[in-house]
Chain A
Amino acid sequence: MDNKSFSETLIRLRKEKGLTQADVAERLSVSPQAVSKWEKGDSFPDVSLLAPLARLFGVSVDELLSGEKPTKVEVVEPEGGDLSKVFLRIRVDSKEGDKIRVNLPFEIVEACTGENGKLEISGDGPIKNIDFRKIIELVKKGVVGELVSIESKDGDIVKIYAEVVQ
């Protein structure tokens, strides 16, 4: 890939997240000038910054580098496969600008889901009305990727991904 297509992806992802170059610089502990150079295509971030950069934008390193949005969902294993490497990633971006990132092993999510389908650790937060039984059912069928994407009327955005960690 060339610096230009990377810079276009970077600008797109940053704007989608509503962040400024200074915000990105601060989160990655680099100078705003460095971020500006990446976006101009004058330089490329150090390889050690790719994973934090991808995490910051809530995308995979692959998407960051290729600029292509991954297929929303895919089926990776037949029913009854090994679920010990499946992680559920919950991303909440509130309208006020607060961000919550939760990385939970699937088995923990399964253990914490009550009979009513609510995650017992969700409290009164924006995920309280999500039926996790349905998510568990999907993951058990081998579906991974973006399983839930909600934008509430208050402007909160909730996304839930199932990801197989190698």
Chain B
Amino acid sequence: MRIKIHKKGRPTFRLALPTGMIVFFLKRESPGLARAIRSLKKNKKRIKKLLNGEPLIQVISKEGDVVEIRL
């Protein structure tokens, strides 16, 4: 999964994390989220096509900072 963090006026921080690693860290604290991410991984190709370039999650703060999570 690709995470992009952009703080206004600062360089953009991009992170690519293996899905398995995210699932591993989440499965105790948030089993529902871990299950969801595992399911996303299984259907990655199809879901990416359906998303058509849109992020899974996008948060834009009032200050203009942006956090995006893509598959």
Binding site for B on A (CB under 8 A): 26, 55, 84-85, 87, 96-105, 107-108, 111-112, 114, 119-121, 165
Contact = CB atoms under 8 A, between A and B. Distances in A.
Interface residues of B, number: 24
Contacts of A55: 54
Dominant secondary structure at the A interface: mixed
Given A87-B50, A121-B36, A97 B43 contact: no
Interface of B: 30-33, 35-36, 39-40, 43, 46-47, 50-52, 54-62, 64
Nearest to A108: B36
Contacts of B31: 120
B52 A165 contact: yes
A96 B43 CA distance: 36
19 contacts: A55-B54, A85-B50, A96-B62, A97-B62, A99-B58, A99-B60, A100-B58, A101-B55, A101-B57, A101-B60, A105-B47, A107-B39, A108-B40, A111-B36, A111-B39, A112-B36, A119-B32, A120-B35, A121-B32
A101 B58 CA distance: 5
Contact of A26 (B35, B52, B64): B64
A126 to B, nearest CB: 13
